[in-house]
Amino acid sequence: MESILDFFGSIPWWGWILIVIVLIAIKDIFFSRAHTIKHNFPVVGHLRYFLEGIGPELRQYIVASNREELPFNRVERGWIYASAKNENNYEGFGTDQDIFSTHYIFINNAMIPFKLDEKHPNRIDPNFIACAKVMGEFNKRKRPFRPASIINVSAMSFGSLSARAIESLNAGCKEAGAYHNTGEGGLSQYHKKGADVVFHFGTGYFGVRDENGNFSMDRMVALVKENPQIRAIEIKLSQGAKPGKGGVLPASKITKEISEIRHVPMGQDILSPPNHSAFDNIPELVDFIEDIAEATGLPVGIKSAVGRLNQWEELAALMAKTKRGPDFITIDGGEGGTGAAPPSFADHVSLPWIYAFTDVYQIFLNEGITDRIVFIGSGKLGFPAKAAMAFALGADCINVAREAMMSIGCIQAQACHNNTCPTGVATQNKWLQAGINVKDKARRVNYYFTKFRKELLEITHACGYEHPAQFTMDDVEINLSDKNLAKTLAITFAYHKEKVPFDGIQTHMDSPHLGGIHKQKEVTTKEAETEETAPHNKNE
């Protein structure tokens, strides 16, 4: 035994390396039948798989240029990171964009910008931009809602994102006065950190389903009653990354917490079908919307990706005829998607946002009913210039998903679908999400939203307007081709958006339906005043 140990001890370090290489070569040649490269090129073949594994990181940080990466290039991510950290988000030495590329947008500034008077609300709060329309006002819902921020967090559910990520987003939305869309995973405790909430559900009816997996109005009513921070309800018809496709929640991913939130049983796979069981056609969808609005008193809207337009035409015609229907419509672009989706769907099914939105908006414009609907855009619009374009096309609010994820630390590792997100944002791995400092990340969400709104307001004022809702389709030009370099949005898409009623920012701030922290501050102030003037017990 000692002689054997002496023999092994006499082998130099480089000898051990040679032994390991020989063993790997033997394994590759005689046992690795699943990998031709490893068999034909033993040992060296492993280098190919190693480089393939770190390829995304090499391209992201070394190979790709600042403007080259997709879905978000380095400059776009850098602007979000700097804004979220409240750092310098400017750039020097002029633009490095290819300003002659197709779909490049130009915003037409005014010769004399809009001037704020001394008592203007934006003198006090330079980041305040509420939605110019009120959700549910036309249909006379019991609790109409004016979003206090024109940029808000899009539908991303607990389960898709980690608990700490959801908590950070909600707390950040509270600070920024924005609303937080729950996604279709139900309302969790992490959505209850003070922000306004838009409750979102899809075909699985998670959080509002009965024992058979069908929609339960009783549970919906109870949920709204128990959670007054829910200000609107959104029905998902489809989403940009995978419209018309269902999904499966594997039993292995259903924790006790998720089971209670989603109202699903433990120990079995849960199916989200591609179709809703609560309705089968457009008239039934409208009835479903009205039933929920009547039972809860809240504005009710729909979210959808866009493809064929015949059912959109049917919906608009029915709404015009009956004066019933959704209070808001969220148009999701095919370029969006924070969760897992087959490449065939993510790459090819449904239209990009700009085509989807203009197609749908024109349908409702032709019916003369755009004034009663709050139009929400979702699809890589989390940058001030793109938002200005969206408002010029007819959008009233912007929802952001991946941009919001980046504000809390997402590095675009594109590992959302395999539970290995290195930043802990899109994973249920306890170790990985433990690195998220909720207080710090919430502050970053607030900074990103306030910087966004401030910069959008500056663009708005540069164009001579007080509010982004005043943008017209002649205020933005877009490159079409080498022959016709730039045309206005009005010429490009052959319509003019309907003028949005606007009485001034002060009207929005004074609105009784205003959500967000502004209204919370007002309530807190009134409570404090009441407490000061109320008689006190001498024994206290």
Residue ranges, the chain, pLDDT below 70: 1, 56-57, 59-61, 63-65, 67, 240-250, 252-253, 336-341, 482-484, 517-540
Query: pTM to 2 decimals?
Result: 0.85
What pLDDT is stored for residue 524 in this prediction?
A: 40
How does DSSP classify residue 189? G
Q: How many Å separate Cα 179 from the centre of its chain? A: 11
| Residue whose C-alpha is closest to residue 163's, from 180, 184, 182, 188 | 188
Q: What is the DSSP string of 82-102?
A: HHHTT------SS--S-TTST
Domains of the chain: 17-63 (no CATH), 104-523 (3.20.20.70)
Residue 8: strand, helix, or coil? helix
What pLDDT is stored for residue 95 in this prediction?
A: 84
Instruction: Give yes or no for a contact between 511 and 134, defined as CB atoms under 8 angstroms apart.
Output: yes
Name the helix (H) or strand (E) containing 400. strand 397-400
Q: What is the DSSP string of 343-399?
A: HHHHHHSS--HHHHHHHHHHHHHHTT-GGGSEEEEESS--SHHHHHHHHHHT-SEEE
Say how far apart CA 415 and CA 182 lie, in whole Å: 21
